[in-house]
Structure formats: structure tokens, C-alpha cells
Amino acid sequence: MMFVKLRDWDLRDRPGLRAKDVAGKAMMALSRIREGVIYTFPPPAVTELGIATGFDFMLQDRGDLGHEGLTRARNQLLGMAMQDRRLSRVRPNGMEDVPQYKVDIDWERAGALGVPVSSVQSYLATAFGSAYIGNFVQGGRVKRVYAQNDAPFRMLPGDLDRLYVRNSKAGLVPLSALSSGRWIYGSPRLERFNAFPAMNLQGEPSPGHSTGEAMQAMEEIVSKLPRDVGYQWTGLSFQQRMSESQTGLLYAFSVIAIFLVLAALYESWSVPISILLALPLGVIGGLLASSWRNLPNDVYFQIGLLTVLGLTTKNAILIVQFAQGHMEQGMGLIEATVAAAKLRLRPIVMTSLAFGFGVLPLAVATGAGAGAQMAIGTSVVGGMITATFLAIFFIPLFYVVVVRIFGEKKAPRVEPAARTASPSEGQ
């Protein structure tokens, strides 16, 4: 693994010099190397939290396919992922299969010779690996002692013939008398995830697509694999799936909270419906603006939409509240609504322009951290445009329709007549 440090942001003011662009150019250049597979990607913005735009995927063997079957399924998945436009840089995060020398123990012969199973396993692990024996003190420092065969005697398969295992009668039995060796081709690291054999895959969405779309593409590809192959998300991808399941609940709770507050404000269950009908007016603008700039549907975009919901509600309240005030003074429904729309046009435009120009620097931000600022600013500015110009026409319409359907109208306020004194009372 190698880390490349880029120049200062001010020195990379031309297009094509951003981190992702540089990584893409390096990927194209390094892909010509045939001796290995090299991947380049930007490091995470926050250390130890992974790459926010990528995904972490575990391909699982749930039907006893074996290592070879799981490897074939992984290669098939990688092939289909290369052809999917929503995915890029899908790669296995592990070590490829390598030649290995496997020692087969004849346990029946070992039992006949009085050699315990544990003795053979521990002896091979100590001779060709290492075993911790204890500590000793030298020069006032505590040092550890490890036992293993000397390097020249643990390099070749023929070195197994030099090993002797002690049996239950304190005798020495040559290891070659109860074992045989053969070359195989397998993985140097066998992984398991949630009790199933698994392989880890990582990847990123292609430009113009979000991580959620890339994860959806991976799930669609896995559905085309054999039935015994499953998958699970891990790391930040697992957290993203958990948060996505709560997104709908978050928006629903926001709308319910707005409805309850408006119901308490107007002392009515039907009038708040006309205000809630105006919420899509702001959402449409946020979606169109983010789509026009090819911004992903991330957490910053969702924060911007929640802000737009509140601003759209504010514009609707300005019209509905004054319309109800005019109706209490004896004006008709349509007459009061039109008068309220005309009266509150200037405040709506002024407050919307003030807020829109306030977040405009976020939408056109550049430099380090501009991604999050652009996501929030773009969704809010787009939502404010539609919530302002469409709300002027549709909010009065929604209010008139809802009041007529539900038949709720404030009774005209009748002023008490002046009381005059009679001649008898005067006397």
C-alpha cells in the first residue's frame, strides 16, 4: 500500500486535478501493468471511518459450495459488476489463491503407533511455525523464548522426513511413517462472516450515481448467482442500510410533527392539510436542482430537504393565517384567500430571497469540504425557488379546496350592537 500526497488545493485550480480525477487517471495508467492488479482511490475524509462513497460487501457461502465454488461465484460477480454502469472499481479485498503444501495424516496408523492427534498437530505447528515457550531475563530486560526448526530445516517439503513425533510409550516415530504430502492450490486466508465462509469485496459508485444505487446494483447481481450464495453488508455499508430503513420514518415523523403543531395553531384538523399539500412544492425543486448538478442522495441532501419542508410550511402559514383572519371579518372564502395572497406576496418573496441568497454561497462553494456544502446549498436553493414561485399560486388553491371539501369555515365575527338607554331608565 502506498499513499500519494497531492499538492495544496490552491495549486490545483484547473479541472482534472481533484483527488478523484487524479485517482482515475492513475487507475487508467496502472491498469496496463500485467504483473499485478492495482487499484487507486482517495483516502477517507475521516480516518478510520472508511471511504464514504464506497461500499463494503461480504459474499457468503450458505450452501456448502466450498472454497472453489465460492471463488467461482465471486469471479462471476466481478464480471457482471464490470458491465454495470452504476459500479466502478469493484475489487476483492483479500489474498488470491496460491500454491500450498498440504500434509495428510493417517490417523488410523497414528493410533496404531500410539501417537496422539494433538501431538502431531502441535509438533507441526511448532516446527514450521513457532510456539511460545516462556521468558528469560538478560541484561535486566525480559525476553520471550520461541521454539521452531532452524530456517534451513523448514524450507522444503522434504524437511518433513526429518521430523520425529513422540508416542505414548516415550518412543520416537518418524512423521513420514504416518503422513504424506501433496501440493494444492488454495487461499492463504480463509474468512468467515457470521458463521459462514465469506469473501470481502469493496467498490465505489460510478460518477453520477450514489452509494445507495451501487449497493442496489450489487444486490441485483447477487440475485443472479446460485441460490447457495448469500451476502451481507458490513462496516459503513451496514450502517447506511440501517439508516436508510429509518429515512422514511424520519420524514413521516417530521410531517406528523408539522401537522400536530398546525392543528394546535388553527384549532382545526382540516386546515393543516392545505399546508401539508404544499410540502411537495419545495421537495420538487430540491430534487430537480440536485439531479441537474448530478449530486448523490446522501445525508447532506436529506438535511437540505428537511430544511426546505420547514421553509415551505412557513410560506403556506403566511397565506392561510391571513386568509382566516379576513374570513373572521366577514369576507368570503375566495375573496379572503385572494386578498391574503396579494397581501403576503411581498413578505414571502422577501424572506425567501433573503434565505436563498444566504445559502447560495454553499451551493457554489469550492475548495476543501465543498462537497457537503454544495449538497446542502443546492437542495435548499432549488427547494426555495419552487416553494416560493409555485406556492404563490398553489397554496391558495389548496386552501380553498380543503375548506370546501371539509366544510370548515370560521363564522363571521359579529360586533355587539351599541346599547341605548330608554327614557324610563334615564329617569
Q: Is residue 239 part of a domain?
A: no
Q: Are residues 230 and 268 in the same domain?
A: no
Q: Are residues 309 and 395 in the same domain?
A: yes
Q: Are residues 268 and 363 in the same domain?
A: yes
Q: Which of the two residues, 44 and 184, has the higher pLDDT score?
A: 184
Q: Is residue 386 part of a domain?
A: yes
Q: Are residues 145 and 164 in the same domain?
A: yes
Are 325 and 338 contacting, i.e. CB atoms less than 8 angstroms apart? no
Are 65 and 73 contacting, i.e. CB atoms less than 8 angstroms apart? yes
Q: Are residues 148 and 180 in the same domain?
A: yes
Q: Are residues 268 and 383 in the same domain?
A: yes
Any idea what the CATH number is for the domain that residue 379 is in? Answer: 1.20.1640.10
The amino acid present at 402, given as its one-letter code, is V
Q: Is residue 419 part of a domain?
A: no
Q: Which of the two residues, 43 and 293, has the higher pLDDT score?
A: 293
Report pLDDT for 53: 65
Count of structural domains within the chain: 4
Closest CA to 291 of 390, 407, 375, 388: 375
- On the CB side of 10, CA atoms within 13 Å amount to 0
Any idea what the CATH number is for the domain that residue 202 is in? Answer: 3.30.70.1440
Closest CA to 43 of 158, 161, 192, 204: 204
Across 91-114, average pLDDT: 85
Q: Are residues 249 and 370 in the same domain?
A: yes
Across 188-194, average pLDDT: 83
Q: Is residue 171 part of a domain?
A: yes
For 212, the grid coordinates are 445507495
Q: Which of 166, 186, 206 is at the close of a domain?
A: 186
Q: Are residues 149 and 177 in the same domain?
A: yes
Any idea what the CATH number is for the domain that residue 119 is in? Answer: 3.30.2090.10
50 band by pLDDT with thresholds 50, 70 and 90: low
The pTM is what?
0.55
Are 275 and 262 contacting, i.e. CB atoms less than 8 angstroms apart? yes
Q: Minimum mean pLDDT among 86-95, 179-188, 203-212, 412-421: which range?
A: 412-421
Q: Are residues 74 and 212 in the same domain?
A: yes
| pLDDT single digits (tens) 345-377 | 888 888 888 888 888 888 888 776 777 788 888
Are 214 and 56 contacting, i.e. CB atoms less than 8 angstroms apart? no
Report pLDDT for 407: 66
Report pLDDT for 47: 62
Q: Please give, one letter per residue, the 3-state secondary structure of 365-403.
A: CCCCCHHHHHHHHHHHHHHHHHHHHCHHHHHHHHHHHHH
Q: Is residue 318 part of a domain?
A: yes
Q: Is residue 424 part of a domain?
A: no
Across 69-83, average pLDDT: 91
Q: Is residue 411 part of a domain?
A: no
The domain in which residue 6 lies consists of 1-43
Across 417-426, average pLDDT: 45
Q: Which of 165, 186, 207 is at the close of a domain?
A: 186
Q: Which of 26, 43, 60 is at the close of a domain?
A: 43
Q: Are residues 91 and 106 in the same domain?
A: no
Q: Is residue 164 part of a domain?
A: yes
For 368, the grid coordinates are 476543501
Across 234-259, average pLDDT: 80
> How far apart are alpha carbons 166 and 175 in whole angstroms?
10
pLDDT at 414 over 50: no
Q: Are residues 289 and 336 in the same domain?
A: yes
Residue 347's Cα: distance from chain center in Å? 40
Q: Are residues 23 and 117 in the same domain?
A: no
Per the prediction, the chain carries an average pLDDT of 83
> How far apart are alpha carbons 249 and 253 in whole angstroms?
6
